Amino acid sequence: MRLEWIEDILAVIDAGSLARAAERRFVTQSAFTRRIRMIEEHIGAELFDRNRKPIEVLPAVRSLEQELRETAARLVGLRSRLLNASGSPGSAVAFACQHAITDTISPRIVAALTRKDGLSVRVRSGNRDECLMMLLSGDVDFALMYEAPGLRSAAIPRAFESVTLDSELLVPVCTADLRDLARGPALPIVSYPADVFLGRVFSLTLAPRLPAGVTTQSRAETALTLAAYRYALNGIGIAWLPLTLVRGALDTGALLRLDETLPAGALDLVMVWLPEPKRPEIGQIRQELLNRLYPDAGSERLPDCPADAVEPIDRTEQG
């Protein structure tokens, strides 16, 4: 039984519905529903009464609530003790990245961190929601992820503090043999699921700005940016990818930029952390990293934003 599973079950008990539990766990409702199904499949039993609206935990599960809470507390304490036993305090720092950032930006972060004598680094990779969950569960000390300026439905929740490190472009790219198809009327694309971050960015800020009369046809769908990159390289379709990820392929001509014809999007690279770190030295390590690599960055606590408040990205902000 994993700690994250116990915390998901307790979130439903505390929140009273899947929708509110998903908000507490900082994931979309559809992603949280899939996780609940996965937990039940692994355990081999149903845990929730789906005949009730909103969904409720079964009475037999609720009777185990106290044991679940005690087990979660023991696991959190055990993880902390194992961390402290693995070396001297402050000897390791862990951070999470969205998949594309792990490949492109994290090497520079790791190089800067390991210049500090005796410091080792652990890097975890996941989608945006998974990175936030790693922070909440104490698995990592900070996270690096993308945020879309103006896309309030994807804003980082108030529970976290963050700082904008750099700007990025999400650009449409394809192989040379697909270039003529970029003018439509039907674009063969590599798409992202609607419930992941880049899927929301595409559907809410890019799709509405496609040329008049142009529609998209998904040839492949993936939540992994690195997979979308490989699909684009193999000529499967047009993909919208971070410029830092595809710059090498653009330089060699393996991929072509299409943002003169199709819309590009603005992204911000942000560092996110919990206001109260599990170890006091982490704040100093994080600040030293910012001073070394991003001296102009300044921390801020992001406000909550309503999920339906969406503002389109202006093309003048994409440079």
Domain ranges in the chain are: 3-82
User: What pLDDT, on the 0 to 100 scale, is given for residue 43?
Assistant: 86
293 close to 95: Cβ distance less than 8 angstroms: no
DSSP 58-111: -HHHHTTHHHHHHHHHHHHHHHHHHHHHTSSTTSEEEEEEEHHHHHHTHHHHHH
* Longest alpha-carbon distance in the chain: 62
The two beta strands, 120-126 and 92-98, are parallel
User: What pLDDT, on the 0 to 100 scale, is given for residue 81?
Assistant: 65
> Structure tokens of 61?
């599960």
- Residue 125 phi/psi, 5-degree rounding, is -125, 145
User: What pLDDT, on the 0 to 100 scale, is given for residue 222?
Assistant: 92
Q: Which amino acid is at 81?
A: R
User: What pLDDT, on the 0 to 100 scale, is given for residue 286?
Assistant: 87
User: What pLDDT, on the 0 to 100 scale, is given for residue 83?
Assistant: 60
User: What pLDDT, on the 0 to 100 scale, is given for residue 300?
Assistant: 44
Other beta carbons less than 10 A from residue 304's beta carbon: 11
User: How far is the C-alpha of 138 from the C-alpha of 160, rounded, in Å?
Assistant: 13
Q: Which 3 state secondary structure label does DSSP give 251? A: helix
User: What pLDDT, on the 0 to 100 scale, is given for residue 11?
Assistant: 85
Write out residues in the chain with pLDDT < 50, as ranges: 88-90, 299-319
User: What pLDDT, on the 0 to 100 scale, is given for residue 315?
Assistant: 29
User: What does the angle CA 226 – CA 189 – CA 34 come to, to the nearest 5 degrees?
Assistant: 60
User: What pLDDT, on the 0 to 100 scale, is given for residue 299?
Assistant: 46
User: What pLDDT, on the 0 to 100 scale, is given for residue 235?
Assistant: 95
Q: Which amino acid is at 148?
A: A
* Arch. (CATH architecture) of 3-82: Orthogonal Bundle (1.10)
- Residue 41 phi/psi, 5-degree rounding, is -65, -40
User: What pLDDT, on the 0 to 100 scale, is given for residue 302?
Assistant: 37
